[in-house]
Amino acid sequence: MYSEILKHLSEYISLTAEEEEEFTSVLTEKSINKKQFLTQPGQEITTEYYVIKGCLQSYYQDEAGNKHIIQFAVEDWWISDFEAFFSGRKAELYVEAIEDCMLLGIQKDTLEILYKRIPKFERFFRIKTTNAFVALRSRVLSALQKTGKQRYLEFCDQYPQIERRVSNHNIANYLGIKPESLSRIRKEIF
């Protein structure tokens, strides 16, 4: 159950057996089925989730009802409405399972306690946050300056395991193009 997340942590920080034990003791398991929501707009978000098994997407729905996919998550990724979690504001995003999922959750207040007791965790989450910020910045630049084809190739290159599991119309949405265009791009490439 915990072997994946401990391996994940060990890529960034080294923990003693006791520290590992202390960490896993505050995690909560959660499983949700395909098409169910982990979060919905308006909720308070006090938990962040690590994906043991499955695939999810987070998206924003605009006033006109259009869906805009922010992120996908598969095994070994973290997901939640990060801004809501971090700032304490209400959620603005849907987080929806697109496969049956097994997750591990960590509570915000528990995390604060953990930071004080074992500062290495602060380091771990700081690194993850910085990486997310950089990834977001690079996505802005891609969206502004690159063609749909370039963005699709980048996506396949960066997230091959996601490309294989997510439907093309969801990938198209994430890339900011229409499914018809993605279909044509794929035809051109393969």
Write out the residues near DNA by the rule CB under 7 A. 147-149, 167-169, 176-187
Q: Which does 28 bind (CB under 5 to 8 A by kind): DNA, a copy of itself, none?
A: none
Quick one: how far is CA 137 from the chain centroid?
16
Q: Which does 130 bind (CB under 5 to 8 A by kind): DNA, a copy of itself, none?
A: a copy of itself
Q: Decide: is 78 part of the binding site for a copy of itself (CB under 8 A).
A: no
Query: Which run of H or E residues covers position 143?
Result: helix 119-145
119-145 and 148-158 helices cross at what angle (nearest 10)? 150
C-alpha triplet 101, 103, 106: angle, nearest 5°: 155
Cβ proximity to DNA, 43 vs 181, nearer residue = 181
50: left (phi over 0), alpha (psi -120 to 50) or beta: beta
Least gap, CB of 40 to DNA (angstroms): 19
Residues 125-184 that bind a copy of itself (CB under 8 A): 126-127, 130, 133-134, 136-137, 139-141, 143-145, 175-176
Compose the 24-63 pattern: x for residues touching a copy of itself by CB under 8 A, - for all others.
------------------------------------x---
Least gap, CB of 114 to DNA (angstroms): 39
Separation CA 64–CA 51 (nearest Å): 31
Quick one: how far is CA 33 from the chain centroid?
17
Q: Which does 9 bind (CB under 5 to 8 A by kind): a copy of itself, DNA, none?
A: none
Burial 99-129 (b: 16+ CB within 10 A, else e): eebebbbbeeebbeebbeebebbeebbeeee
**Residue 91 carries which DSSP code?**
P
Least gap, CB of 99 to DNA (angstroms): 11
Least gap, CB of 180 to DNA (angstroms): 4
> Which positions touch a copy of itself (CB under 8 A)?
60, 66, 68, 70, 82-83, 86-87, 126-127, 130, 133-134, 136-137, 139-141, 143-145, 175-176
